[in-house]
Amino acid sequence: MAIQTALWPLQVSVFKRLNGGALSSLVTGVFDHVPADQPKPYIRVGEPISEPFSNKTSYGEEVSLVIHTWSEAMGKKQSYDIINAAIKLLYAQPLVLDGGFSIVKMDEPRTQVFDDIDGKTYHGVIRLKFWIK
């Protein structure tokens, strides 16, 4: 049984999906590494966590992925709009992964928007979970 992680194929697929549709009119970009002085609002694909999801004959992984949104608009509505647009794109149809990986299950998203410590930024969080074989 070969053991490989699907973290990169998953990230590529998520990036492709988030860089299309209605979301592109709501944010200045979708990033892994945010450039210095990037204007808000934007999305950063954040921290993945991979745990084994295996049996005696096959290897799989359970991947939790965090997507961050950043906004300086007055109030949380812009953050909610960005989160909703991202969720619609990610769940519109199954994500396709390269490298022979496939998503067995994608859990429902968990979301949160809170005031950032700087007092002017709203930080949105989308937590996703995937089971990948």
pLDDT of 66-99, one tens digit each?
Answer: 999 999 999 999 999 999 999 999 999 999 999 9
Distances from the Cα of 79 to the Cα of 11, 23, 42, 100, angstroms? 22, 12, 10, 35
Burial tier of 38 (Cβ tally within 10 Å: 0-12, 13-18, 19+): middle
Q: Which residue has the tokens 């300086």?
A: 72
* pTM (2 d.p.): 0.92
pLDDT of residue 85: 96
- Tens of pLDDT, residues 107-126: 999 999 999 999 999 999 99
Q: Which domains are assigned to the chain? A: 7-132 (3.30.2000.30)
